């Protein structure tokens, strides 16, 4: 039989006959098709059909037409121009020595060799058997269909015209939105352009422009190359194939990989729900990741550089990831590593963080403190993080953060030896962690706060200076408190409340009254950061989280009324002793709504009453605003500044400020 002339074959390599057998058997094992080019004997045009090969033992074999293909009725008008095989990395083609075309099967004989084909530069992954559903939307008209095959350069789909939809309504000159739904769970939504193939089939070309998951920022998380580099392992949500790709660089919020150009399958917007970051020491960090960019590699034209954003990861796994990135960047930086509390307190004494007066105040409860710190620093808990800079086992710098409200973390216990780098390094580490945590879990990480004394030069410069420089209370603010060392001072001189005064559990209305007073008078972030907002102020979720971690964290908000009108809120907090060494997490805080000195005796009575009932006579009392005590002719033991940062509004300016010092 005379064979049709083959055109445009690129002779770049070849397979011998035995190798062709092996490739055909591999396709059979994988239930993957080969591609048959049929050329019309008279008109010279070609059509391409998929067929599934049978096992091959000699040169005579057969293949069964794919059930999704439309076989021409006039098969006798066609000849087999070539058969194309996917050999894994390249395509090869040959013209059979003999062939017979049937309605169900193709019989053919295999020649001595096959040559590398220039038919298709991009490998296409067959998907018809996976029955992956999709929707294609253009100008509010939604077509349903299924995926036939897939690649980064083109997605072949079969649309159905149900519900009296007309394919004429699809304008190939306009973009459309494709949503891919394996198991009815969307894994991709993106803009595509259309090329009709007839009978409801369309080749969709995906938009490969970057699709950033997070808002573009001036400050970006640091990307680090690790040695040895970890692997990204996942099952592709569309093709079903298992992948293991080397991670080129890694940060606490994302990573990148390289993929072979001819087999690229990762497109911007694709969601990988079963991603695993796998390290050489058998550590595996499961996460949900999404492709955010796709670009040709400058170093290697045969590869595509793919960027991923991490969308969700377990908090403990995220800590491990941060620790690895930090360690690769600076081997002396540690995140929430196990520390012997005795070593930590030796460090606190050596740095002067625990100065004599402070230690005298807490010395009687050192066993309770030791128990708290054993939980925080050796067991590891979800409500606390610590950042340590150390060398040869010696702690050089320390900073910790504690989740004290639903949306707020308290930065505390910052200390360093005579090493400015160590002190600044832990400040930067905790700041970067909070920025990352907000991106991954904004519900529990909206605000950062910190208390410091006016006389403390470091926070005054780095936090107070930042607030002054920004001068925007919606981003960051400072508020001052008067601090009285023990509540028993008020109990000694208190009297019973008169009949015009009542002390009750606060309501949302009372919280709203203080909120409006504060915003009108001070305009900062205090009530938002301290969870003193009408919506959810009495939520007990955080208390339950502490309890699960073997710790105590409780609060009660009371209102002191005069003739039925709220005059102050009193916040009674109870925690394990030593969670905060200034005992702010164990304090009674008074928030005045009206600065009337005549109310002072009633306020004292209310504080004394609450201190007695909650066994808190030895705990501190804090007053806001800080000038209320002086208005009443009383003197505070200390003054504390509350610094607050709204992460969503202020993290860019804050990190820019920190970068001036913490490089």
pLDDT tens per residue across span 557-599: 999 999 999 999 999 999 999 899 889 999 999 999 999 999 9
pLDDT tens for each residue of 237-273: 999 999 999 999 999 999 999 999 888 999 999 999 9
Residue 387's H or E segment, with its range, is strand 384-391
Whether 231-318 and 125-206 are alike in CATH topology: the answer is yes
Tokens of 580: 């905060």
Q: Residue 87 — pLDDT band, cuts 50, 70, 90? A: low
Which top CATH class is 319-471+647-659? alpha beta
Question: 231-318 maps to which CATH number?
Answer: 2.40.10.220
**Considering only CA atoms, which of 443, 432, 362 is closest in space to residue 399?**
432
Contact between 25 and 55 (Cβ < 8 Å): yes
Cβ contacts of 305 within 8 Å, gap of 6 or more = 248, 256, 257, 258, 293, 294, 295, 296, 297
> Residue 452: what are its φ and ψ, rounded to 5°?
-150, 155
Contact between 599 and 468 (Cβ < 8 Å): no
Residue 52's H or E segment, with its range, is strand 46-53
Contact between 110 and 61 (Cβ < 8 Å): yes
**CA trace torsion 4, 9, 12, 13 (10° rounding):** -20
> Residue range 23-52: average pLDDT?
91
Top-confidence residue, 491 or 411? 411
Helix ranges, 445-507 (H): 457-459, 465-470, 488-493
> Residue range 615-643: average pLDDT?
95
Question: With respect to CATH, is domain 479-645 assigned 3.40.630?
Answer: yes
Tokens of 595: 């600065």
Top-confidence residue, 281 or 350? 350
Q: What angle do CA 101, 102, 107 make, to 5 degrees?
A: 55
Tokens of 574: 């109870």
Task: Answer whether residue 507 shows pLDDT above 70.
Answer: yes
Residue 550 CB coordination number (10 Å): 13
State how far the alpha carbon of 23 is from the alpha carbons of 45, 85, 648, in Å: 28, 7, 55
Max distance between CA atoms of the chain, in angstroms, equals 116
pLDDT tens for each residue of 150-185: 999 999 999 987 778 889 899 999 999 999 999 899
> Residue range 331-353: average pLDDT?
91
Task: Answer whether residue 4 shows pLDDT above 60.
Answer: no
Cβ contacts of 79 within 8 Å, gap of 6 or more = 1, 3, 4, 38, 39, 41, 99
**pLDDT for residue 458:** 86
Contact between 232 and 255 (Cβ < 8 Å): yes
Tokens of 615: 């066994």
Of 92-96, 285-289, 527-531, the range with the lowest mean pLDDT is 92-96
Contact between 347 and 554 (Cβ < 8 Å): no
Domain boundaries, the chain: 14-116, 125-206, 231-318, 319-471+647-659, 479-645
Architecture of domain 14-116: Roll (2.30)
pLDDT tens for each residue of 452-488: 998 888 899 889 999 999 999 999 999 999 999 999 9
Q: At the fourth CATH level, which superfamily is domain 125-206? A: predicted glycosyltransferase like domains (2.40.10.220)
**pLDDT for residue 437:** 86
Query: What is the number of H-type helices and E-type strands within the chain?
Result: 15, 34
DSSP 650: H
Contact between 189 and 179 (Cβ < 8 Å): yes
**Do β-strands 60-65 and 105-109 pair in parallel, antiparallel, or remain unpaired?**
antiparallel
> Residue range 639-652: average pLDDT?
93
What is the C-alpha separation between 390 and 427, in angstroms, rounded? Answer: 14
DSSP 378: I
State how far the alpha carbon of 340 is from the alpha carbons of 346, 356, 419, in Å: 10, 22, 22
**Do β-strands 188-198 and 201-206 pair in parallel, antiparallel, or remain unpaired?**
antiparallel
> Residue range 532-551: average pLDDT?
92
Q: Residue 7 — pLDDT band, cuts 50, 70, 90? A: very low
Top-confidence residue, 2 or 505? 505
Residue 489 CB coordination number (10 Å): 18
**pLDDT for residue 107:** 96
**pLDDT for residue 135:** 96
Taking all residues of the chain, what is their mean pLDDT, rounded to a whole number? 90
**Do β-strands 60-65 and 154-159 pair in parallel, antiparallel, or remain unpaired?**
unpaired
Cβ contacts of 111 within 8 Å, gap of 6 or more = 17, 59, 94, 95, 96, 97
Contact between 133 and 148 (Cβ < 8 Å): no
**Considering only CA atoms, which of 564, 561, 612, 552 is closest in space to residue 588?**
612
């Amino acid at each position: 039989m005379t064979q049709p002339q083959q055109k445009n074959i690129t002779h770049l390599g070849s397979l011998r006959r035995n190798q062709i057998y092996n490739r055909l058997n591999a396709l059979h094992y994988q239930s993957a098709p080969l591609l048959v080019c049929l050329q019309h004997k008279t008109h010279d045009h070609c059509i391409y059909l998929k067929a599934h090969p049978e096992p091959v033992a000699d040169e005579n074999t057969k293949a069964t037409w794919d059930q999704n293909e439309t076989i021409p009725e006039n098969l006798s008008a066609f000849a087999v121009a070539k058969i194309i095989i996917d050999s894994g990395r390249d395509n090869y083609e040959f013209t059979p020595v003999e062939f017979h075309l049937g309605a169900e099967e193709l019989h053919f004989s295999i020649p001595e060799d096959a040559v590398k084909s220039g038919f298709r530069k991009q490998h296409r992954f067959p998907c018809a058997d996976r029955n992956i559903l999709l929707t294609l939307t253009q100008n509010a008209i939604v077509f349903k269909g299924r995926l036939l095959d897939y690649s980064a350069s083109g997605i072949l789909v079969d649309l159905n015209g149900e519900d009296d939809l007309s394919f004429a309504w699809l304008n190939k000159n306009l973009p459309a939105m494709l949503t891919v739904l394996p198991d009815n769970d969307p894994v991709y939504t993106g803009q595509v352009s259309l090329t009709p193939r007839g009978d409801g089939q369309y080749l969709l070309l995906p938009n490969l422009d970057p699709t950033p998951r997070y808002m573009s920022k001036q400050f970006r998380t640091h990307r680090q190359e690790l040695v040895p580099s970890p692997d990204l392992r996942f099952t592709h949500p569309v093709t079903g194939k298992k992948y293991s790709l080397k991670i080129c660089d890694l940060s606490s919020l994302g990573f990148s990989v390289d993929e072979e150009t001819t087999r690229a399958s990762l497109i911007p917007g694709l969601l990988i729900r079963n991603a695993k970051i796998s390290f050489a020491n058998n550590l595996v960090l499961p996460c949900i990741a999404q492709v955010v960019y796709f670009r040709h590699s400058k170093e290697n034209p045969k590869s595509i550089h793919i960027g991923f954003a991490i969308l969700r990861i377990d908090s403990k796994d995220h800590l491990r990831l941060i620790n690895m990135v930090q360690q690769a960047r600076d081997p002396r930086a540690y995140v929430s590593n196990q520390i012997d509390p005795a070593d930590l307190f030796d460090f606190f004494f050596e740095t002067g963080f625990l100065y004599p007066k402070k230690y005298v105040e807490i010395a009687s409860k050192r066993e309770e403190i030791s128990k708290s710190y054993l939980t925080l620093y050796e067991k590891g808990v979800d409500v606390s993080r610590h950042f340590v800079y150390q060398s040869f086992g010696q702690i050089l710098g320390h900073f910790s953060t504690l989740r004290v409200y639903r949306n707020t973390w308290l930065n505390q216990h910052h200390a360093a030896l005579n090493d400015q780098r160590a002190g600044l390094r832990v400040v930067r580490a905790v700041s970067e962690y909070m920025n990352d945590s907000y991106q991954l879990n904004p519900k529990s990480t909206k605000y950062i706060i910190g208390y410091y004394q006016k006389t403390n030069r470091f926070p005054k410069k780095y936090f107070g200076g930042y607030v002054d420089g920004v001068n925007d209370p919606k981003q960051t603010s400072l508020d001052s408190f008067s601090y009285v060392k023990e509540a028993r001072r008020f109990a000694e001189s208190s009297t019973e409340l008169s009949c015009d005064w009542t002390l009750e559990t606060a309501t949302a209305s009372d919280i709203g009254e203080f909120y409006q007073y504060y915003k009108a008078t001070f305009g900062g972030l205090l009530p938002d950061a301290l969870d003193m907002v009408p919506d959810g102020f009495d939520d007990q979720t955080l208390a339950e989280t502490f309890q699960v971690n073997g710790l105590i964290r409780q609060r009660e908000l009371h209102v002191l009324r005069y003739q039925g009108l709220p005059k102050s809120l009193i916040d009674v907090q109870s925690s394990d002793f030593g969670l905060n060494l200034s005992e702010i997490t164990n304090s009674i805080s008074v928030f005045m709504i009206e600065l009337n000195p005549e109310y002072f005796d009633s306020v004292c009575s209310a504080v004394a009453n609450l201190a007695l009932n909650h066994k808190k006579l030895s705990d501190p009392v804090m007053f806001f605003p800080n000038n209320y005590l002086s208005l009443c002719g009383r003197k505070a033991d200390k003054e504390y500044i509350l610094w607050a940062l709204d992460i969503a509004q202020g993290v860019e300016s804050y990190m820019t400020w920190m970068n001036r010092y913490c490089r």
